[in-house]
Each structure stands twice: as C-alpha cells, then as structure tokens.
Amino acid sequence: MDRYTHVFQISGIKDREKKRALVKGIQQLGGKYIGGSVYQHSSTHLIIPQALSSEKFLAACAAGKWVLTPDYVLDSVRNGSWLAEEPYEVAISTGATSTFYPVRQWRQKVATGKLKGAFQDWRVVLMVQEPARRAMFKRLLKAGRAKVYHFPPPSNASVTHIMAKPVTENLKSHSAPCYPVSHIVQHLFGNNCVDMKLNITEDSPAEMTKASDIDFSNLETELRDHVIKLEGRPRLYFLEFLGYHDPSRPQSQATEMDFNNVGSMIECGLFSEALDSIRNAVFPGVLPPVPHLSSLLEYAQQGNATSVFLRNLQQVMLNLLLTNPPWLAPSSVKKYFTKLLQCPRCKAGMWPFLETAISYCLSSKVTCHPLPGPALPTLLHFHNDLLAFFLKLFQGELHSVSTVDIMLAQGRGVSQASASGSLLNGTFWTVWERSTLLSHAVKQLTQLLVQAATQDYTEKDKRQKLNLADTLLDYLSVLVEFWCQRHFRLNQNLVEKGLKDLAEHFAVISQDVSPVVLAELVFRISSSRLKLVMADAIFRSLCCRNGFTVGDEPLSLRKMVQSYLPALGSLARSPSGAPPKTGPTPQSCTSQGTSCGSPSSLVKKTNQEKENIPRGLNRVNAAGETLLHRACKRNQVETVLQILALPGTDVNVKDYAGWTPLHEACNHGSTACVEALLRHHPTPVLNNQVCGVSPLYDALLNGYMDIAKMLLEHGGTVLLQQTNGDGRTPLDLVSTVGQREELLHSAQVGDSALRNVTEISNLPLLEAASFILVHLLSSYQRERGLHGHMHPSNDVHRLDYRLVRALETYSFQKVTLAWTDQRAVRLAEDVETLLELGSGKCVLQVCQAVKECKGEKTVFLMEVLGNLKSQGEALVKDL
C-alpha cells in the first residue's frame, strides 16, 4: 500500500517555473508527485488552474479525487503543513453570483461510500477507431469504475452503453443504447457542461502543438537527418596543420639546388656532411633527390650512426613535411614521398617499412630484412621517430580531408580532395581492399597493437619509455576516421559493418590479453567512434570469456541497462586468475550476428562425444528454431539437459522472430525445462523482450504461476517492473490478491538472494569491466545522443523536446510503428529508456556487491549511472 496520503498530478500549468515550484512544494511537505500526461489511478489530488477538458481533470472527477487550484500547495508550504482541501476546490462561474463545483458531488459520493465512481455499473462497449484516443477513453471510463469491452463484447456480458466516435446508424440497431463520447461530460456535469467541449487536451504549453497533430513520419525524418549529421562529422582535429604551407610564404625560395656534391659525399662515406648539406637546402618546392635520402636512411638502419646524426635526419624529414605537405601539394610531391618512405633496401612499399619499424620497437625478428640486434637504444629511438613521422603525415592527410568535409557541409565552394590518391590510403589498402576497413595491413596493425599493449602496460618497468601502444592506437584512430569519412557519404551501412568487423577482430585476437590492459587501451583511444565499437566488442568478449552471455541485439542504452549492468555481478564473482572458459570459439563470442557458441559452430569432436549429441542438433526449421527451442516447447527435459551439457551451447539463441528457448518453455508451460535452463551456467537472460513480451510476462499470460515464481526467485523485483508495449506490468495480468502476494514474495526471495551476494572474488576484472563500461556509456552519448543526451528545455522547436513529448503522449510502439530507419528507432528507444529511468519504470540493474564495491573505477561507474538516472528524472519533471 502506498505510504503517501497526498499523491499529486498536475494539469494545465503552462509556466514551467511555476510547475517546478509546485513539485518542489509537494515534495517538501512529504507528498508524492507523479508526472506524465495520462491520469494515474494511484493519485489522490489533481492540481489544475481551472476546469479543463483534459483527461486528468475528467478522470479525477469520475474517480472522486480532490481537484484543487495551485494555491492549495503554495499556501500549504507557507503554513508548513497540509491545509484543508475544500476551500481550494476548482469552481466554475455559471452566472453573476452562482458558482458550480464540478467535482464536489462525485467526490462526496465516493468518500461516503455511496458510489465507487461516477460510472459505476456501466458496462461499455467502446468503439473508437484511433488507438491513442481509444486508450484515453478507456482510462477515463475505468477511472469512474466502468467495465469496458472491445467490440464484439463477451457473450455473457450485459452491455449498458455503446459509446462510439463517430456514431453511425448501424450502431443504433444494437440492443444497448448508443451514445457519442461527449455523453461522458454530460453525465459528469449535467447542464453545467455547456462550455465544456470534449476535446481532450495534453498537459503541454500553449505553444506546443496538440499530440494528435504530431507528425510521426516527419519526426522520423528529422531524427534520421540528425543521426546522419552526427555520424558524418569529423572526430579528430589537428590545429597544428593550419600553418602548414602558409600561402603568404613564397613557394620556392631557391629555383635550383645542386645536390651533386651530396651524392659525392655519400659515395665517400661522408654521411654526416651530406646530411648537413641537405638540411640547408630544404625549402618549399625544393625536394632533395630520393636516392640521397634513401642512402641516409639505409645508413641509419645499419646501427652505426650517432645519436646526433639520427636526430638531424629526423629534423630533415620533419622539415620536408612542413615545407612540402603532400596533402596540399601537386601529385608529383605525393609520388616523391611514396618513393622515399619505403625500406631503402627492400623497396617493398610503405606498409612493410612501417611494419619493420614497429617490429624493431617490439624486439621482434620479423622484419623486411635482418637488422642489427639485439635492439640498440639508438636504433629503437630512430624507429620510434620514424613512426612519429608517419603518424604526423597521416594526421595531416586526415586534417585535409576533414577540412574539406567541413567546408562542403557549410556550403562553401571548395574542390573535393582526392582521398584515393593519398599516402594513407595507399599504405593500408590495396586496390582490391578499398571497400573494407579490415584490410590485410589493418589486421597486421591490430596484431602489433595487441603485442605492444601487452609489453607497454605489463612490462613498463623493464622497457624504455617508447609509448608504442599509444602511438599505434593513434594510427588506428586516424586510419579509421579517414576510411569512415571517405565512405560515409557513399554507403553508411558499409561504414557500420567495417567498424563492427574491426572491433570484433580485435576482440578475437586479444582473448589472452589481461582485462586491465584492455581497459587501459579503451581509455587511450582518441576517436570516440572507434572507442565506442571497441569498448562494446571488448566488454562482450570479457562476458563471454567468463561464462556470461549478453544479447546479440544492436547496442542501445536499454541493452546496456538491462544486459551489461547485470553482467558486472557475474564478472565480479568470476574466479580470480581463472583461465578463460572453454566452449565458445572466439569468433562466436564476439559476433553480434552469430550466436555466442551456438551448437552449429561446435568444433569436431571425438566419436564418444558425437554419441552424446542429440540428433538434429544443428537443424533449424523454417521459423529459425533450434533443437533447444523445439525441446523446450515439448517439455523434453532430457534433450534439453543433453544440449546444455555440450560445451559452447548458447542458452539465449534466438529464432527468426527473436524468441529464446526460455520464452518457449514459459509459453508452453514446460516447468522442468525452465528449471534446467535456470540452473545452467551462464544463466539465460531473464529480461529479454520480444514486442514487449518477457519470459515472465509470457508465463503469466498463459497462467503458469509456478514458472513465474521460479523466474522471480532468480531475477527479483526488477522483472516485475518491466512493461509491455501498452505500459502494462506482469502484475497487471494477475487477477487475485493472493496471486499477487505470491509473486511479490517470490520476487523478494530473489532480491534477498541477489543482495546476499556481497563477495567480490575478482576485483581486477570488475574494475576493468566497470572502466570499459564507463567509456562505453560516455562514447555512446557523444556518438548517438541527442543534443548531449537530453537536457531539459522549454524550446518547443527543439527536436529532443518534441521527441520526448511524443513518447510521453503515446507509447513507443505507437510512435515508431511505421518507422523504417533503425537508427531513428534506436534513438527514440534511448530517450524512452531515459524517461523510464526517471519515472522508475526501469531500474539500474546492478547487484548489491557491485554497488558496495570501493574500487575506484566501480565507484566512478556508479556516479555515471547516478547522473544518467538524474537526467531521466529531470526530463520527467520537465514535462
């Protein structure tokens, strides 16, 4: 029972500051405020400035609630306690001296027990075509205790009213009298309803358009355009390149330079003298011959050069880049750098030269040709400087492409720079690899990055401070941004797939890397676009490696709240130092498109193992159902146990409609199969919904109370708070008080079991996962949020404001019913999740052990989650 004696709703308050003051006053005096645009039966008081034809006002009248002016709250605050309500009841002036109190008669009848509501004993067939209007009239009639039926009514129903909009002649032929919906106002207010037309309004500012006028199609278009603009913007900026190739400087300060003497010096072995001559001859438009610089690079590679020579050579290379940046110069300059920036001995191209430099810094023997070893300190710094030079070159090319994109977006007349002829493009992609992000060179770079991260972060006390992993991460960020910007305007789906492939490839090859190292890697990624996909893939990989399966649906705020947060508890309880669990292959653990360790992906087994595999394990029927689905439908528990005993079985595998084996078992009353699934490790996802139907909802819908209680004992009250597409909770499906008490008791047992798990056996893994999740949430907000993720505003023209109003007025399914752009749907779902967090319909599913953890990263995550919930609360209060 609600402990509050004063539960308020507010209607018709247009001034936002006044509304905030009322809410603050209600809470100050110990009352409870319920937001939203529809009437809530749990309310006891409605605050309204005057009689309106709004749903809340009419429903409060029908239910016999207090309907008061705002002065009631304001005067009570001044008094320090709640005043008597009657002097503040809303009144209507019907003449010079007479006053009509529209709610008083119904309130007094309900309070004295004469009636339960204004529509008591009404049995109504409601025939209103528009779904949202029909739902509103249904709430209104039920507030007055009417029984409402859809057409046709049950055969045993004794109908007293047929209420329709519009009323047609054929409706009048029914046995019960037919009324227009305006009869509701007539019944409530009698002859005093002359000026009260039944035009149910929304609780929104006057300048806000009516909810019935919301154009969902136009809203989808605007959201899609917003997402496209957000995804297409440059992520990395390098202001240092603004001064490169300054137009005020002469393009050539020396018409001709004689480099013959340089060649003679090199032939005589006077490398330092040759380098000094070149240093004094680097100007805009002047390029030293490639053979001369190649000879100097080869001399440096041999390990005999002094540190002064290597430092001067690095300075010459940087001066070349400063005076003749290839992204601003003619194509001949690009060809010059292409010839220069390759191994002076092997001449196999830029990537082998880069790979050799990285390998030498890693003390690897895999180089394009044998180099002096073991790794000499001077050569280590030389190759590290080469990597820094290449990185600066690639950053400059990305800067050039980003600048052109910005100018094009602003409508300024610029010529499109050719990205296909860039050095960056030629280094990492061959002609046949241009349409894929995950080229052969990119795969090699990620493999080298894994090695560098392992050495840099785990052996940093034993190694020189080269920060190689950071450099390679910068490489990866630059090339990802370059490739995405190049392909985004042509094929956005290709970009999304390329990012996904890269992230999952990295998650696969980093299976043996410490979670602490992976968390550090995620932290150091400079591109928010790359950080988002990498953090997601790595987090899912950590879950899979430790026996916890998350859903394979696309990343969304709801998925992080309902799947990723519960995973933290399982990670915290993973055995410390335990090797990764066997079973799922690495590829299946990270692929969103492939089930994690699905039966169809099992590796070859011995003859004895094959005898234990049920027949038809790998067969999928026309509905996409696996043998596990079919066994759960038929309650074949022995087959279910056989399948679950196989290594790598995905207990959350979905058919083509999205149903899991647990859904099927709950739907068909397969109690023994549900019990077997819940005992399996990892346990199935209990809160997975298909069209708003969770396993618990499915069980109660079909009357399987024993299964429902079993689910609640494992999942707790969180499962009771989930709503379906119509906003109904699982408890709404239970008809008797006894059954509700049984379910609540089972949920309390589940909560108690979850709370009692306070031991954290693997703090480093929990800290790493929490840190990754922090960056995943922050990157998601930057990449896919709406105006910094929904800050309250009274600007009715803002896109986020109109989306919030639409979702508050209609259900998510209603708003997105005809939408075809999944990006817009996901954005609307994110906002819906924020609203549910703010209103309490959706809770942050974090186990008690994680909440009480004192680890720095986990505490930080709790603060981020608290801020997220506060954003949702601010949105709800602002409505």
CA-closest candidate to residue 826, choices 796, 803, 792, 797:
803
Q: What is the pLDDT of residue 749?
A: 85
Task: Judge whether residue 794 has pLDDT over 60.
Answer: no
Summarize pLDDT for 535-556 with one digit per residue, the tens. Answer: 999 998 888 777 666 666 788 8
Q: What is the pLDDT of residue 70?
A: 92
The shares of helix, strand and coil residues in the chain, as percent rounded to the nearest 5, are 55, 5, 40
Strands 92-93 and 99-100, how do they pair?
antiparallel
| Amino acid of residue 769 | A
Return d(Cα 291, Cα 293) in angstroms, integer: 6
3-state DSSP of 287-303: CCCHHHHHHHHHHHHCC
Interior angle at CA 664, CA 633 and CA 722, nearest 5: 160
Return d(Cα 797, Cα 794) in angstroms, integer: 9
Q: Name the CA dihedral angle for 516, 520, 521, 523, rounded to a multiple of 10 degrees.
A: 140
Coil vs helix vs strand at 37: coil
Question: Alpha helix (H) ranges present in 341-467?
Answer: 350-361, 377-409, 423-428, 440-458
CA-closest candidate to residue 36, choices 8, 6, 60, 64:
8
What's the burial of 582, exposed, middle or buried (CB within 10 Å: 0-12/13-18/19+)? exposed
Decide if 482 contacts 394 (C-beta within 8 A): yes
**Range of lowest pLDDT (205-209, 277-281, 506-510):** 205-209
The structure tokens listed for 243 are 């001064």
Mean pLDDT, range 361-383, rounded to an integer: 82
Residues 6 or more apart whose CB falls under 8 angstroms from that of 555 comprise 532, 536, 780
CA distances from 264 to 30, 258, 259, 316, 873 (A): 93, 12, 9, 19, 77
How sure is the predictor about 395, in pLDDT bands with cuts at 50, 70 and 90? very high
The structure tokens listed for 104 are 């008083």
Decide if 150 contacts 115 (C-beta within 8 A): no
DSSP 261-325: HHHHHHHTT-HHHHHHHHHTT--TT----HHHHHHHHHHHHTT-S-HHHHHHHHHHHHHHHHHS-
CA-closest candidate to residue 642, choices 604, 599, 671:
599
* Dihedral (CA of 771, 773, 778, 779) sign: positive
Q: What is the pLDDT of residue 728?
A: 77
* Ramachandran sector of residue 411 (left: φ over 0; alpha: ψ -120 to 50; beta: rest): left
Residues 6 or more apart whose CB falls under 8 angstroms from that of 408 comprise 414, 416
Return d(Cα 122, Cα 124) in angstroms, integer: 6
Exposure string over 439-461, b if 16+ CB within 10 A, otherwise e = bebbebbbebbbbbbbbbbeeee
CA-closest candidate to residue 442, choices 530, 370, 521, 515:
530
Return d(Cα 66, Cα 84) in angstroms, integer: 11
CA distances from 824 to 241, 379, 488, 783, 827 (A): 36, 52, 17, 14, 5
How sure is the predictor about 460, in pLDDT bands with cuts at 50, 70 and 90? low
Q: What is the pLDDT of residue 213?
A: 46
Return d(Cα 640, Cα 628) in angstroms, integer: 6
CA-closest candidate to residue 182, choices 201, 163, 168, 195:
163
Q: What is the pLDDT of residue 200?
A: 45
Q: What is the pLDDT of residue 588?
A: 40
CA 215 to chain centre: 25
What's the burial of 24, exposed, middle or buried (CB within 10 Å: 0-12/13-18/19+)? middle
Return d(Cα 321, Cα 344) in angstroms, integer: 19
Residue in the structure block whose two tokens are 């859904």? 663
**Range of lowest pLDDT (50-59, 515-524, 582-591, 830-839):** 582-591
Return d(Cα 723, Cα 716) in angstroms, integer: 15
Return d(Cα 303, Cα 298) in angstroms, integer: 9
Return d(Cα 572, Cα 151) in angstroms, integer: 53
Q: What is the pLDDT of residue 551?
A: 64
Count CB-CB contacts under 10 A for residue 612.
10
Mean pLDDT, range 243-264, rounded to an integer: 60
The structure tokens listed for 872 are 């949702």
Q: What is the pLDDT of residue 591?
A: 41
Interior angle at CA 804, CA 803 and CA 809, nearest 5: 100
Residues 6 or more apart whose CB falls under 8 angstroms from that of 114 comprise none
Mean pLDDT, range 65-84, rounded to an integer: 91
Helix H or strand E segment including 67: strand 66-68
Q: What is the pLDDT of residue 593?
A: 40
Share above pLDDT 70 across residues of the chain, in percent, rounded to a whole number: 82
Strands 7-10 and 32-33, how do they pair?
parallel
Q: What is the pLDDT of residue 479?
A: 94
In this structure, the chain runs to a length of 879
Task: Judge whether residue 195 has pLDDT over 50.
Answer: no
The structure tokens listed for 224 are 């899609």
Q: What is the pLDDT of residue 330?
A: 81
Mean pLDDT, range 839-844, rounded to an integer: 74
Q: What is the pLDDT of residue 199?
A: 46
Coil vs helix vs strand at 93: strand
Summarize pLDDT for 107-165 with one digit per residue, the tens. Answer: 888 888 888 898 988 888 888 777 777 888 888 899 999 988 877 777 777 888 888 77
Q: Name the CA dihedral angle for 849, 854, 860, 861, rounded to a multiple of 10 degrees.
A: -10
Q: What is the arrangement of strands in the sheet containing 32-33, beginning at the earlier edge strand?
A: 32-33, 7-10, 45-47, 66-68
pTM above 0.75, yes or no: no
What's the burial of 514, exposed, middle or buried (CB within 10 Å: 0-12/13-18/19+)? middle
Terminal-residue alpha carbon distance, the chain: 27
Summarize pLDDT for 601-638 with one digit per residue, the tens. Answer: 433 444 444 556 777 677 888 888 899 999 999 999 99
Q: What is the pLDDT of residue 595?
A: 42
What's the burial of 72, exposed, middle or buried (CB within 10 Å: 0-12/13-18/19+)? buried
What's the burial of 408, exposed, middle or buried (CB within 10 Å: 0-12/13-18/19+)? middle
Which residues is 124 bridged to in the sheet? Answer: 148, 161
Q: What is the pLDDT of residue 188?
A: 82
The structure tokens listed for 819 are 């939408």
Task: Judge whether residue 406 has pLDDT over 70.
Answer: no
How sure is the predictor about 707, in pLDDT bands with cuts at 50, 70 and 90? very high
Mean pLDDT, range 494-506, rounded to an integer: 91
Q: Name the CA dihedral angle for 781, 785, 786, 787, rounded to a multiple of 10 degrees.
A: 30
Residues 6 or more apart whose CB falls under 8 angstroms from that of 564 comprise 539, 550, 773, 776
